[in-house]
Amino acid sequence: MLVIGCNYHLTWQSNKAMRFVLTELKGNQAKVKTRTTKKEFWCNKEDLIFIQTYHNRVKARKIMEQTEVTQ
């Protein structure tokens, strides 16, 4: 499951240290933004790799809980 607001790597990124924030989903496309320069671009959903850090997992859990409450 993809969570808007969480950090991801991309399968094809050249610098493996870069992180991207998922900002929007439309169909099979995902809009991501760089954390430092804030540049945004579209990519395929299949290219996203969730970053398995403690902080990112907690962030995803909080976002999911908030969306359940608002629905």
Where do the structural domains in the chain lie, given as residue ranges? 7-70
pTM over 0.85: yes
Q: How confident is the model at residue 71 (pLDDT cuts 50, 70, 90)?
A: low
- Return the CATH number of the domain spanning residue range 7-70: 2.30.30
- Please check whether residue 19 is in contact with residue 7, taking contact to mean a CB–CB distance below 8 angstroms: yes
Q: How confident is the model at residue 68 (pLDDT cuts 50, 70, 90)?
A: confident
Distance of CA 2 to the CA centre of its chain: 7
pLDDT tens per residue across span 19-62? 999 999 999 999 999 989 999 999 999 999 999 999 999 999 99
Q: How confident is the model at residue 13 (pLDDT cuts 50, 70, 90)?
A: very high
The alpha-helical segments, DSSP class H, found in the chain are 54-70
Structure token pair of residue 23: 């900002």
